[in-house]
Structure 1
Amino acid sequence: MFINRDTNGEGVLKVGTTLIRVSTVMGILYNKCNYCSMNVENTELKRYTLTLEEIQKSVDEGIKNGIRVFHLSSGENCEFSDGLLLDMVEYIYEKGCKIILVIGKRKYSLLKKLYEKGVSVFISKFETSNPWLYSEYNNKNGSHDLRVEYLRKLREIGYKIGTGNIVGLPFQRDSTLYEDLKLLCKLHSEQASTSRFISNPYSKYSKYETSYGKSSEKLNWDAIVSKKGETRVEHIKRHTVQNNSRETHSVFNGNPIDMVNDAWEQRHLVEPISDGMGGTIYNIPYKNAGYESGYINTGAQMDYITIVTLDESTDLITAFPSFGDYHK
């Protein structure tokens, strides 16, 4: 579901049924994020920028195959001009398609123009709610407060926003994750995405092993977000990727996810744990929810579904597969 260039420079298009991802700029950026293999200091990564003609060609091919939503992503790259971005968006919108942008930080004036040209959704993940960790992860480039303010400006313009965190990063604690959930509540984002940190040999954190231990060669990671009183659960799915790959994408799926609903109904069978900040944690064995232990769309051994409910002033419930480190 994305287009990129292979090692020979040829465009490769993978087509799905509802959404296509176009990687307009791959790896060309100025950031030095310690957890990311696309770090500007990684000299091994093959980097490229698609031309407007290449983008238009991939859009036409997608439309021919029934695609009507285009997810345009790039590194934070100032060389990708405002004019090219506007031309690209205008071309797609005139074809009667929807557009999702993941292009990092851009000028407010450009963001307004892109919205007026037809972009409806903008994704910018805050990664962590902890200002010190944000500075550490991003190699002291930018600030957490400015990232959150950027999301608020996107909302002010009119965008639907997608954001979220990374789980398993070095120096992260349980309390950090709960603060991440609370920030998600405050931002009222239309998409909430949780990514799993996977150590990459070309990143600054190549020596770190996550709190989940070693993962299998391939991984599926599911983050599930639901609201109290609703049976439908939004499902954001990380497709199977190699551990050293950053080529992932998110797909929204409106189908009911019975696993979470079944687990929620069984919460009275387990002893709740206070998170010390107004929230409650329920660790529910898969077998209690009627599922086999250690196998729900992942490549790692698991035994629990963890449900975290926040304070009574919010209606957000987050449930995610657990690897053992949340079980005190």
Structure 2
Amino acid sequence: MKLKNSLFLIILLSVTVFSSVFLLEACGKKEKQEADTEKVTEEKADDKKSDEMEDKEKKDSSQSSDNDETIIKDLITQFGSKLQNVSLLADKKEIKKSMEENYKDFVTEELLEKWINEPVNAPGRLTSSPWPDRIEIKEIKKLKEDSYQVKGEIIEITSGEKDKNEAASKRSIALILKKEDNHWLIDDVTLGAFENSNEIIYENKEYGFRFRLPKTWKGYKIVMDKWEGKPIEETENADLAESGPIISIRHPKWTKEEERQDIPIMVFTHEQWDALQKEQFHIGAAPMNPSELGRNSMYVFALPARYNYAFPTGYEEVEEILESKPLEPAKDLKKAK
């Protein structure tokens, strides 16, 4: 009997132990499942938070880009309105003063200094009419976090286009802007050629004139040469000799195999031109002098005598171009000091 009771107690104890172990394992599994569930929930919450932060960053970045573009548009618009105030043909002292007054708030110090030293590379006003009225923006492109590129056109007008939202001529312009001390400034500018709907314009800032060409001359080249004048009377005094530049506008279809007629423009100082008219020297063997095309306050521009004596291809077209009086001198050219 005692043996049976002992056996029963052992069995009961074993069952109790196994039950306890089972319950402990079950509780452990439940706790693990709850912990895993909580972990998954936390991970999902973290992922959601991370996604929300990423979306916010993207939104903030997008808003920042939009704000930058708005600021850049305003800057270019204001800069474009200042171009007409800067005469590029004034003396160096006046150019420096004018650029500092009108461009300083829009461009980097390095670019401003470059333009002051080399105004030929700067945008501004060349003639009294037409004059640069504004910059029309065509494209704004983000290059880096602190750099943008803007492409557009400088719109030039005369009194005839002033209230009509039209253009007498257009000139392509590309600007690079960079951020300095949280401010956007123009750091580089590339200027294209002047154009309008029916013609293109060659512009010479060094001597102060423009020359209108048909649209078919787009892609023309400029060839530099020199004219030389000799005294009328035989003399060994070389100081009596004169010389100056010849600027030839060359048709884009000109080749060595098939040469075409150039448009040669001789440049004289007023003193040289007066001396030539007084026959104090002569140029070449032609019995007649060059014919005047126009003049500004410093230079006289002239067509060489018998420039088309060989009648090359295109000489008739050049004659038609010259008949339209295409050369427009700058009226406010001053000698650089």
TM range, normalised to the smaller chain?
Answer: under 0.3
> Which protein is bigger by CA-based radius of gyration?
2
TM-score (norm 1): 0.27
Higher helix share: 2
